[in-house]
Amino acid sequence: MFKKLFGKEEKIENEVLVAPVTGEMVAITEVPDPTFSEKMMGDGIAFKPTEGEFVAPVSGEIVNLFPTLHAIGIKSKAGVEYLIHIGLDTVMLDGEGFEAHVKQGDEVKAGDKLITADLDAISEKAKTITPLVITSEVASIDAKDAQTVVKGETEVLTVNL
């Protein structure tokens, strides 16, 4: 409405993300892989999942669904890109233990089901710790303290644009 009246779009100043999975939220620095713990791909947080259903942490578009289904990229309405990387060394599973519920180009709302993962099968061959990384430039992030989280409900991160 304001755009029609004044010719301006309302600028989004921050986004609040919800947990993409139920489990324990931990600092990104606890991920036992330097690509994530040293923030080479970007800052973020991580999760030790206790359930295998992964949901969108923010509303936006699926911009990347890896063929191995272990990672998914979402571009939010504000234009920020996020990567959910389910587990470590899971690319080598070649999709085994993963089922996608979305495809590249789909629009999703925070809490929509993205991927189901068989955590027991995956944990036999890989680690299940799951980083959520901001791969875009942002002003700052405010992560909540480590805690038990519920997918699609618990607010875990505020991204300041």
pLDDT, one tens digit per residue, over 46-91 is: 999 999 999 999 999 999 999 999 999 999 999 999 999 999 999 9
pLDDT at 10: 64
Give the pair of three-digit tokens for residue 149: 């989280």
Q: How far is the C-alpha of 110 from the C-alpha of 58, rounded, in Å? A: 4
pLDDT at 160: 96
Q: How far is the C-alpha of 95 from the C-alpha of 133, rounded, in Å? A: 21
CATH 2.70.70.10 fits 13-160, yes or no: yes
Which residue from 155, 151, 154, 144 is spatially nearest to 49, judged by alpha carbons? 151
Is residue 28 within 8 Å of 39, Cβ to Cβ?
yes
Which residues, given as ranges, of the chain have pLDDT below 70?
1-10
Calculate the CA 134 to chain-centre distance.
Answer: 8
Strand ranges, E, within the chain: 14-18, 23-27, 44-49, 53-55, 60-65, 71-76, 81-85, 98-100, 107-108, 113-117, 130-134, 140-143, 147-149, 155-160
Residues annotated as catalytic (active site), given as ranges? 85
pLDDT at 136: 97
